[in-house]
Amino acid sequence: MRLFAEINGGSQDDECKASRCSHHGPVIRFPFRLKHQPEHCGYPEFELSCSEEKRTILELPYSGKLWVKEINYVSQEIVVHYSDDCLQRQILNFNLSASPFTYEYAYDFSFFNCSESKAESFWLTSIPCSFLSSNPVYATWSSRSLAKVNLSSCWKIFNATLPENYIYGGEYGTFMNWSKPMCGNCEAKGNKCQRKKNNSREPEIECIDKPAKGAPMDKMVLTEAILGFLHFTFGIFIIFIVYRSNKLKREHRVNIQKFLEDYRALKPSRYSYADIKKITNNFKDKLGQGGYGTVYKGKLSNEVFVAVKILDDFKGNGEDFINEVGTMSTIHHVNVVRLLGFCADGYKRALIY
């Protein structure tokens, strides 16, 4: 038989999730449970089942099957009809003493079996479903005076304490409520009432807070997702910058190497970066600062002093270095400094005048 599952905020295991027998049937959750669900999903004697007609059925000891039309978990009451739509047929059997339910409104009635039909009145009500014999059966409030009631050809058969709707029928059904477990206050707060999983003979209950909409947990998940996305984007950006920088440096180095091969015939001396450090005495004497590098005092020997220009390796694309070496290598004039050598050691570049 198909059940209509309902999402229950803050639900526990799927085996105990709230459900319905039909789209319009009452929601079934703790303290009620369906027969196929584990015992810890409900409270003792609150077992329900679904009929072939998709009705919600409560089966009480000694009282037969009741059709549950409504369940109010806050006021802890249910509205029931007999499954065969004839409450009166079960008057003799109906007994709530062995169940956790009680009548919300109950009164003492007297029942009479009459050999002749009687006219119904304010004091006397006909029972439409025959349950004793073919003779008509009538009921009246036991507290009412029967002086104005013609009870000739009638004899009293029994008294019973029953809800008024049970006698008079009608579409509203019979109201019953329960006192245990006490989950009304928990339900009124919008929380979840459930049975503690323990081995005690008397089941204990607990009230579990339901996370509200926009709860801190939801905000935390959203924040973590946003931060994760930002970290990922920033990581990709850094990788791109490093890759771009390395690519440009490789391109600059290739340009310089190609130039040096083309100008090899000009025979300027090539020095290593270690030679440059030795020539400048580890860059001890600084002569000036230019747009493309710093100039240091150095000497090749005791008689030959030189100016060493250390080019910034992070500026330009190598063209300044190429242009200066190419130009200065071809100029020989008494009033112009002469290029004696250069350094192109990895990404380290320098010019010696």
The predicted-structure confidence for 240-265, as pLDDT tens digits, reads as follows 888 887 777 777 777 666 655 655 54
Is 309 annotated to bind ligand?
Answer: yes
pLDDT at residue 265 in the model: 47
pLDDT at position 259: 58
Asked if the model's pLDDT at residue 339 lies above 60, the reply is: yes
Is a pLDDT exceeding 70 seen at residue 274?
yes
At residue 85, the 3 state secondary structure works out as coil
User: Tokens 């703790």, residue?
Assistant: 30
Please state which CATH number belongs to domain 248-352. 3.30.200.20
Tell me the pLDDT tens digit for each residue of 129-180.
Answer: 655 567 788 888 888 777 777 788 888 888 877 776 666 655 556 788 898 8
Q: How far is CA 139 from CA 12, 117, 125, 144, 153, in A?
A: 49, 13, 5, 11, 15
The pLDDT score that the predictor gives to residue 212 is: 59
Please answer whether residues 65 and 52 qualify as being in contact, where contact means their C-beta atoms are separated by less than 8 angstroms.
no
What is the predicted pLDDT for the residue at 201?
Answer: 64
CA distance 115 to 155: 9
- Boundaries of every domain in the chain: 4-106+165-208, 108-162, 248-352
Reported pTM: 0.49
**CA proximity to 336, closest of 311, 352, 353:** 353
Q: What is the pLDDT confidence band of residue 82, given thresholds at 50, 70 and 90? A: low
**What does the pLDDT look like over 18-63, one tens digit per residue?**
999 999 899 999 999 999 898 888 888 899 999 999 999 998 776 6
Helix (H, G, I), strand (E, B) or coil at 46: coil
Question: pLDDT (tens digit, 9 = 90+) per residue, 201-236?
Answer: 667 888 988 765 555 556 777 888 888 888 888 888
Higher pLDDT among residues 277 and 160, named by residue: 277
Residues 6+ apart with CB under 8 A from 309: 290, 293, 294, 295, 350, 351, 352, 353
Q: What is the CA angle 140-96-164, rounded to 5?
A: 30
| Average pLDDT score over the chain | 77
